[in-house]
Chains A and B, each alone.
Chain A
Amino acid sequence: MFIAKLAWRNIWRNKRRSLIVILSIVVGVSASLLNDSYGVGIMNQMVDNLIKSHDSNVQIHKSGFRDNKKVNDVIPNFNRISSILAKLKEINGYSERVICFGLISSAANSSGVSIVGLKPELEKNVTDIHKKIIAGRYLSTGRNEIVLSKKVAEKLEVEIGDKLVAVASDINGNVSSQMFRVVGIYRSGISEYDNIYVYIPLADAQEMLNLGNNIHEIAVSIEGYRKSSELKAKILSEFNKNDIVTDIYEVSTFQEIMPLMMAFLDVYHQWSYIIYLIIGIAVLFGVVNTMLMTVMERINEFGVIMSIGIRRGKLVRMIIYESLFMGLIGTIIGFTVGLLIYYPMSVNGVDMSQFSESMASFGLPNQIYPELNMNVVINTLLIIPLVTMIAGIFPAIKAIRLQPSEAVRFV
């Protein structure tokens, strides 16, 4: 297209000026890319961490257990559910758990904890605490073993091999206690979880609480947290197929278990758009200013072109092409520069260990890995060119407002 060719050549009339504008766009675009990918990385890691450390994608309980974890609210007929789950091929696995509050005491101290009784061979398919063991080992088939976090171990001043007493109230309301030996110490990196979760064999928990063969919770894992809703739907449909009455159970997705986390992610997401907007405005100033300068400089020329008989629309288009092309060049270079900086960060992670307590309180590890998803790519590639197009509008309108005779005389 002739007009496009003309616009392109016009950009390079003043190389230095155009390059400075393009440079400012490069900075803006690469900053946007890095900022957004960092944000996405944080959000994904936060959620993954929570899911993989304990919560999992879907939890199945007796109705009401999620809000009020009462010892006697065991899952009715859990065996049926387990056998249904065992046949689902899309899941990673499921884990049968007993959950109760209790007190564990050592010679030195005591601590209120959430005791989780589980079967290690099932649990390994659902959470990754077994990978986060920093001393000793995970639970095995043995009995009276306990795995707790470094924080709690320090508080109780215990090490591998030491003995602890766990005290809880059983299904009849009687206080029950049992002795355990510390076999492993973990660090999940999530302050909240480290502070409260300790793990013991399922059989011991059932015995301690007099639960017989019952359990409180089945945690189900599938790849990707967005699939939690699908999983829930699938489970419910399987219940229906097998004539299981669904209202005595509650099947909760991760989102339902952590509504505040989802709200937080939402807010974070919105916030990233504001960042784009602010960067866009900053770039806008520079581009509009430059375009105004170039247009004012060529008023005379525009007058000549108008005298030849160009329609105003074409002239506007030409000017907008000019700012758009600068935007495109800047975006492409900026995107490349951003990618070049992004790749090593996405492989090695960004070290945030000086903020480790803060990170842990948000449930984040010390190494953050920025992530690119389609959303980020599209936003980064689209927003600035859009901004530059808008930037061209005002100068273009200024140009065509003139009467050709005034323009021509303007030397």
Chain B
Amino acid sequence: MRAMDKNRLIVAAGAVALGIILQLLIWNGTLNAYYAQVLTMMSIFVIMATSLNLINGITGQFSLGHAGFAAVGGYFSAIITTRLQLPLPAPMIFTISLLVGGLIAALAGFLIGLPTLRLKGDYLAIATLGFGEIIRVLFLNWKYVGAAAGMWGIPGYTNFIWAYMLAVLTVIFIVHFMNSSHGRACISIREDEIAAETMGINTTKYKVMAFTFGAFFAGVGGAVLGHLIRLLHPATFSMTFSVEILLMVVLGGLGSITGSISAAILLTFVSEALRKFNELRMVIYALMLIGIMLFRPQGLFGRKEFSLDLLTDSRFMFKSSKNRGA
């Protein structure tokens, strides 16, 4: 137990140190604006991937609606920052807009979750896919937020440190949730829904809960994204976006948070690195995915977590997240 607490401190300190170092490097110009932007994108995708993992990997409910939740969060937060003239300092406006975006996305997740979570597997995937499209088309036709022309003039509040901090908070939230009894209830639904129910677990409640939390962070991610690229367009939140996030989750390993983080960073990096070979980019990207699925279908990390405990006390580099108890 002691060693674990110590390792947790090391991880926390490491996360803080990494954030500070990167921010300092950005300030003194070692990392130029382009790299800062890539790092910010990585952080945003960490938020998106880990929150989707909460739904798909941990609770085992196959959702393809993440772009929809991100759109809800993005648009509503942008309404706060552009349409309302709040007499507050910028960071506060941004915080409020992130919260509002997240909460409205969570509400959407809750409302969508109640009826659709009775569906299983492919059927749920199709239903959530449909939901994502409905959201996109709604924004495409909503004049107040620019309809097909998109929403312009969004202030560029997002910078690296905002995105990084939010990513860290998201990860902390999800990891803590996973290691609680509520998280175990979600995991038990993934493992065997009927058995979970006979263990006295209200499966509907926990499925909706996971969906709502996942949607909240997707909404926050969408809000951060909107204030980074300063333009929201319905086309950004198409099915491709959902699929891209899903790829990160599957690549990292369904149910592995560290896997999702690594995959989000890796895939953002790869897609940027391949920008030079623009025509071949998607081909290489796809080939890489096929290769990984052939040689490691459970994803890079499987269901395991990379953890420091192991470096200190065990034979393996990877340890099951589920064995933390003792």
Q: Are A and B bound to each other?
A: no
